[in-house]
Structure 1
Amino acid sequence: VIGLDYKNPYLSPFDEFQRFKTHPSIKKYLEGGKRIAYGARALIEGGLQSLPKMHMPGALLIGCDAGTLNMPKIKGSHTAMKSGMIAAETIFEHLKEKKGLSIYEQKFKDSWVYKELYLARNVKPSFSWGLILGILFTGIDQILFRGKLPFTLKHKHADHETLLPANKMKKIEYPKPDNVITFDKTSSVYLTGTNHAENQPVHLQLKDSNLPINYTLEKFDEPAQRYCPVGVYEVQIENNLPKFVINSQNCIHCKTCDIKEPSQNITWVTPEGGGGPKYGNM
């Protein structure tokens, strides 16, 4: 798991994962094995402080759509299921007793899910102080005080605000894949089983089609080329001029671009026809 609040626009989460696998402590478990699947997903780890209003006319936000992941444990299935159960109770009372869907918020706060997220609330924000201080504080907060410190830390920024200009950061050179332990994005995309109808509208939409070349490429060396784990975004040279290309057919709906794009110029919308990855072996 790589936090999307990283600063270096040259960082590639996909390539960091490939490099991670070459560590002797990890590589020994992978040698002799066979790659059978690949996938990627952005996790919502903002916790309690990042929970939005979870009700609206005719709908409720639950699970990972709301952000109920327990970040220190990197677990969210149990909280997602419980939030779904609370939503079912809310909908039942809404239909039978004509109660407003807003009662979901109070039911959620009265549940063990809220308590669990409250006890874990300070872990993620503390890592804004740096890795070492974050680990030390988390130990004090979670082990000594069991998450009951009398204050709540706040998130200082959104993930898309953290990138520094490319000319101020060191370029990262990643080793070429060996196709045994490490692999490239192209062959990895194939293993996701991703499929989108050929003639459907592009579901990755740009608010300003000129911004990637005129601003993001110049200032950040267009980080979309690297933060996307399946190579959806490319900068190609045509007639000696850079061109921003969106390979939407490769998209596995991880939502990283929607989160990390520094100018928030990319909007992910639901694709037509149920297209996307088919994680058969995951």
Structure 2
Amino acid sequence: MAEIEREAMEYDVVIVGAGPAGLSAAIRLKQLDADLNVVVLEKGSEVGAHILSGAVLDTSGLDRLIPDWKDRGAPITVPVKNDRFYMLGEAGGVRIPNWPMPPLMSNHGKYIVSMANVCRWMAEQAEELGVEIFPGMACSELVYGDNGEVKGVVAGEFGKNSDGTPGPNYEPGMELHGKYVFICEGVRGSLAKELIQKYDLSAGKEPQKFGIGMKEIWEIDPAKHREGTVIHTMGWPLGGNAGGGSFIYHLDNNQVYVGFVVHLNYKNPYLYPYMEFQRFKHHPMVAELLKGGKRVAYGARAISEGGYQSMPKMVVPGAALLGCSVGMVNVPRIKGNHNAMLSGIAAAEAAHAAIKAGRASDELTEYETEVRTGPIGKDLRKVRNVKPMWSKWGMMASLALGGFDMWTNDLFGFSLFGTLKHGKTDAASTEEAAKHRPIDYPKPDGKISFDRLTNVAFSFTNHDESQPCHLRLKDPEVPIKVNLPKYAEPAQRYCPAGVYEVIEEEGQAPRFVINFQNCVHCKTCDIKDPSQNINWTCPQGGDGPNYPNM
């Protein structure tokens, strides 16, 4: 095929992703210099369409970015009034008191929010300042300059046939060039992954660790609704099979966020994270809350959990990684949006100073220094051992030792454990099926629990079926020849959207089927596949989930 010719547009800063990091960067750049040309490219059909988070928001990042956010009508109106933590067994639970927990664990002064709606509001603030925001514009590739620097991105390529050739309505897209490019794609984004590999940015760092977070929005009986209540649980149903836990957040309008997180370093390939979530809702405490209610939305996304010791180098010539592209979630606090915003502010300030000094396309080392030594680094350093403790020694040890470690870090600034290592990647943690037994999961009842495909309909995801499959196998034979006999092909189970199937028909060899139309862009397959054979790439712009107020 002849080389595609594209028009190019020049900007001061090109931002990939309209999440909290990207929008914070855009706003801060225009606050610093109204004449800077700033563009934000968002693959979702609208800003917020691909945003999924718990979320109890620590407003420290927003306080710094837009101090008068309350007066500006930010959709942040439900303060936390009641903060509870439970250890669950199958039939009941024990409340763990709040007083032994370090102050950093308190949700007092925080807000229950829809981050999708917060991002929609932030986009309005950015546009008022003159930022150009283009939703439905997926960035399919990076553009490099003559010296290997990141020069820009290709965005808005549409109309390829399923074989990758240009279709009758093919649009080649445009190159958007910037003095600096900010990669704010969220967890395991395809451009960030390319940069991390190309420049070996994880050299000397611990492997990044991940969880899969699944979430439903419920409208419940008003008599059971307790606006401002935050509940977290650990224990049942996961037990010793996997790390993880749940959240139940009572927001306004008789709605409740019900979420479940499974750490992706689990060993048993028969584990089925989605069905663990559905089983959790039948716990007496949860089932009673949801009885008579209605599930109105569903979604899923991966969560970066490696923390302080897993953050890669964040800058390359011409580009910087922000937010979850680096991995800035504080795991015990279950919070990362504040750090994403702070990273956007830090990157914007570094880029502004560089452009003012006549620089372009170099490494914004000032940004990385601020992340590692400023509020983000301090936030993550205090909790750096909680995740590896859980992985190595289990849930109960991580509660006791992790709590002690957070106290010493908070009070004295040091840890008796130093900095623990994570060890294996989540993919390498998967053990062979022969070492484990299949897990018998109860059939969903259609009232409180639901089958996977029914729930995926409530993510409102959609992909043009004529385009190339964005879930690419490095070797098409691996799923059946390697993963099926060795690992019972766990892609059938770890995907929360039913994308992957093994079809076994009488008299025929098993077939591996990819239903890419179902994909909710969680990236779990790219992370957990034990053979690392699946590469998640970006579908054409506007495709994917359409989350209402996740």
Band the TM-score falls in, shorter-chain normalisation: over 0.9
2:414 to 143, 148, 153: 148
Question: Paired residue for 1:136?
Answer: 400
2:366 matches 1:103:
yes
Paired AA for residue 531 in structure 2? S
Q: Which residue of 1 aligns with 2:289?
A: 29
Distance 1:280 1:188 in 2: 15
CA distance in 2, matches of 1:132, 1:112: 29
Q: Percent identity?
A: 52
Whether the 8 Å CA contact 2:408–2:415 is kept in 1: the answer is no
Which secondary structure state, in structure 1, belongs to the residue aligned with residue 355 of structure 2? helix
Structure 1 residue 227 corresponds to structure 2 residue 494: yes
Alignment match of 1:79 (pick from 325, 339, 343): 339
Aligned to 1:217: 484
1:49 aligns with 2:309: yes
Aligned to 1:11: 271
Letter in 2 for 1:189: V
Paired with 2:545 and 2:399, the residues of 1 have a C-alpha distance of 35
TM-superposed CA distance for 1:124, in Å, is 0.4
Bigger strand share:
2
Q: CA deviation at 1:281?
A: 3.6
Distance 1:129 1:195 in 2: 41
Shift of 1:273: 2.1
Q: Report SS of the residue matched to 1:230.
A: coil
- 1:229 and 1:109 mapped to 2: Cα distance? 33
Query: What secondary structure, in the 3-state scheme, does the structure 2 residue paired with 1:159 have?
Result: coil
The answer to whether the aligner puts 1:269 opposite 2:537 as a matched pair is yes
Q: Which residue is equivalent to 1:247?
A: 515
Note if 1:179 corresponds to 2:443.
no
Query: 1:243, 1:105 → 2: CA distance?
Result: 46
- Larger helix share, 1 or 2: 1
- Residues 224-271 of structure 1 show CA distances to partners (whole Å, capped at 9, x for unaligned) of 000000100000025521000000110000010111000100000111
Question: Secondary structure of 1:52's match?
Answer: coil
Which of 158, 167, 186 is the aligned partner of 2:425?
A: 158
* SS of residue paired to 1:38: strand
Structure 1 Cα separation of the partners of residues 329 and 456 of structure 2: 26
Q: How many residues in Structure 1 have an aligned counterpart in Structure 2?
A: 282
Residue matched to 2:222 = none
1:122 and 2:385 are equivalent in the alignment: yes
**Is the Cα contact below 8 Å between 1:166 and 1:221 reproduced in 2?**
yes
| C-alpha displacement of 1:68 | 0.5
Distance 2:372 2:406 in 1: 21
Q: Give, in whole Å, the separation in 2 of the partners of 1:32 and 1:58.
A: 54
* Alignment partner of 2:326 out of 66, 79, 99: 66
Q: What's the CA shift for 1:145?
A: 4.5
**4+ long deviations beyond 4 Å:** none
Conserved 8 A contact 1:36-1:281: no
Per-residue deviation at 1:27?
A: 1.1
Q: Quick check: 172-181 or 268-277, which moved more?
A: 268-277
Assess if the C-alpha contact under 8 Å between 2:382 and 2:409 holds in 1. Answer: no
Q: Contact 2:472 / 2:536 at 8 angstroms: preserved in 1?
A: yes
Task: Give the Å deviation of 1:16.
Answer: 0.2
Contact 1:42 1:254 (8 Å CA) reproduced: yes
CA contact (8 A) 1:197 1:273 kept: no
For residues 105-153 of structure 1, the C-alpha deviation after alignment (integer angstroms, 9 at most, x for no partner) is: 1122231111111111111011121222222211211235536215110
Distance 1:142 1:27 in 2: 33
Task: Give the residue type in structure 1 aligned to 2:494.
Answer: Y
Other-structure match for 1:202: 469
Q: 1:260 aligns with which of 499, 519, 528?
A: 528
User: Higher relative CO (CA 8 A, sep ≥ 6), structure 1 or 2?
Assistant: 1
2:376 matched residue in structure 1: 113
Preserved CA contact (<8 Å) 2:408 2:414: no
Unmatched runs of 5 consecutive residues or more in structure 1: none
How many Å separate the matches in 2 of 1:185 and 1:136?
Answer: 36
The offset of 1:167, in angstroms, is 1.5
